[in-house]
Amino acid sequence: MQRLVIEGDTKISGEIKVQGAKNSALPLLAATILGKTGSVLHNCPMLSDVFAACRILSYLGCKCVREGDSVIVDTANLTHFEVPDELMREMRSSIVFLGAILGRLGRCRLSFPGGCELGPRPIDMHISSLKQMGVIIKEEHGFLDCSIPKELKGAAISLSFPSVGATENIMLAAVLANGDTEIRNAAREPEIMDLADFLNACGAKISGQGGSTIYITGVKELGGCEYSVMPDRIVAATYMGAAAITNGELSLQQIRPRDLDAVTPIFEEMGCSVYPYADRIFINAKRPLKAVKTIRTMPYPGFPTDVQAIIMACLCKARGTSVIVENIFENRFKHAGELRRMGADIKIESKVAVIEGVPKLYGAQVQATDLRGGAALVLAALSAEGVTSISEIKHIDRGYEFIENSFNKIGAKIKRV
Ligand code: EPU
């Protein structure tokens, strides 16, 4: 079992390039199978979740090779339509393979993804949308057996909530369906736009991405393309949080500042100066942090749930009382208990967290409870007095490329043991 051992009282400063986005790379890898030849994804982050997606592709019959930061997927010999249970369990988001496998092969069998560390994660919207497109879905013994007796057909689908995964699955199934599909109340996340841009580069006809209604006209077949995965806005926010909590200053490179429009004002409210320009953001946090008004997590373009834990870590050391309302996931405050072990003053009541800033956090033995919660503990540890040991770091490795290497380049003292 590996751990991160982090010396506290450090100051984060310097320049850092931000990795490619996990939450874009995963649907893009699934999308490659819709083309009959294959695609090359550049800026594809080296993460355990990306390796898990490549294992699924290999199982399905594709060849998946990494060269530097690129992943080359050859889909010519894709034959299998089943994803085994052990591969599904490695990564909850493997459900996004459902739409892609159905689009390419017209049949798919995979196990029900079930709950995860963020609470129950139903896929009812994925299922009902695909049913509207002519897919017959049988749920038995924890498996979803999906087939298309006639044809995959376009449909007008209204989502009751702008689910990222459901929007992706509908898009993946619709690009090769017969006729037009309209997704109303679609997710607007930048990762959705990345998926649409990739599919269009392969020959799909998608428009409206980034807005609440996405239009897709089915085409007969798709080819492949070379595509660069968008920068990871959540990792960028994590670096900003590291600069903020250590009163440091940092220049983030190769990012898209507009993707962080809901996050930047929160850092400014905490007292940081933030300067976005072109593909960079500079953050100067050389002042004590201040509490902020209530933060509510929302679908994009609102404040992202994935940055909630990061900001909570910073607010632990901000002067005054802050409130965070988590509206997206039922169980996304587990990190609060671990932050308390480090001296934080946080009270949780259902989906509301009240954070009373404290002057100091202290090194402790803590456990990463999930991916972003784990990153929040790294931030708290950087600013704490003494040494922190973080276990269960497999969660962190799902989304941060060698976190100790990148943070050590900007002033951290982190060892993996
Ligand atoms: N939901 C349903 N039914 C559905 C689908 C979703 O009730 O059929 C609920 C979920 O249970 C959740 C909410 O709707 O409460 C939002 O779920 P959504 O489908 O939007 O999220 P997701 O596709 O499962 C992606 C990211 C998450 C990110 C969320 C929200 C990937 C691989 N995952 O998940 O990222 O938090 O969107 O932005 O893209 C992370 O990176 O740490 C992470 C969890």
Are 117 and 92 spatial neighbours (Cβ–Cβ below 8 Å)? no
Residue 305 Cβ < 6 Å to ligand 1: yes
Would the pTM count as exceeding 0.85?
yes
The minimum-distance atom of ligand 1 relative to the CA of 23 is 39
Instruction: Please list the active-site residues.
Output: 116
**Is the beta carbon of 343 within 6 A of some atom in ligand 1?**
no
Q: Is 173 in the pocket of ligand 1 (CB under 6 A)?
A: no
Does residue 113 surpass a pLDDT of 80? no
Query: Using an 8 Å Cβ cutoff, are 198 and 222 in contact?
Result: no
SS3 for 236-283, per residue?
HHHHHHHHHHCCCEEEEECCCHHHHCCCHHHHHHCCCEEEEECCEEEE
- Mean pLDDT value across residues 167-182: 98
From 126, 163, 195, 396, mutation site for ligand 1 pocket: most ligand atoms within 8 A of C-beta: 163
Q: What is the pLDDT of residues 348-386, one digit of tens each?
A: 999 999 999 999 999 999 999 999 999 999 999 999 999
Q: Which atom of ligand 1 is nearest to the CA of 399?
A: 41
Please enumerate in sequence order all residues whose Cβ is within 8 A of that of 189, keeping only pairs 6 or more positions apart, or say none: 23, 164, 299, 300
pLDDT digits (tens, 9 = 90+) for 223-272: 999 999 999 999 999 999 999 999 999 999 999 999 999 999 999 999 99
163 CA distance to ligand 1 centroid (A)?
6
DSSP state of 417: -
Contact 329, 367 (CB under 8 A): no
Cα 134 to ligand 1 centre (Å)? 24
**Residue 139: enclosing H or E segment and its boundaries?**
strand 136-140
Predicted pLDDT at 114: 62
Q: What pLDDT does 115 receive?
A: 61
37-70 residue pLDDT tens: 999 999 999 999 999 999 999 999 999 999 999 9
Atom 43, ligand 1: residue with shortest CA distance: 306
93 lines ligand 1 (CB under 6 A): yes
Test site for ligand 1: of 139, 161, 188, most ligand atoms within 8 A of the Cβ? 161
pLDDT at 286 (0 to 100): 87
CB 126 within 8 A of CB 165: yes
Ligand 1 neighbour 404 (Cβ under 6 A): no
The Cα–Cα gap between 229 and 136 comes to 33
**Which residue pairs, CB below 8 angstroms and at least 24 apart, start in 277-282?**
279/253, 279/254, 279/255, 280/251, 280/252, 280/253, 280/254, 280/255, 281/236, 281/240, 281/251, 281/252, 281/255, 281/257, 282/249, 282/250, 282/251, 282/252
Q: Which atom of ligand 1 is nearest to the CA of 191?
A: 39
Q: How far is ligand 1, taken at its centre, from the CA of residue 165, in Å?
A: 6
144 C-alpha to center of ligand 1: Å?
Answer: 19
pLDDT over 90 (residue 284)? yes
User: With a 6 A CB cut-off, is 328 part of the ligand 1 pocket?
Assistant: yes
Residue 166 CA, ligand 1 centroid: distance in Å: 9
Cβ of 125 closer than 6 Å to ligand 1, yes or no, is yes
| Tens-digit pLDDT profile for residues 135-172 | 999 998 889 999 999 899 999 999 999 999 999 999 99
Distance (angstroms) between ligand 1 centre and the Cα of 195 equals: 16
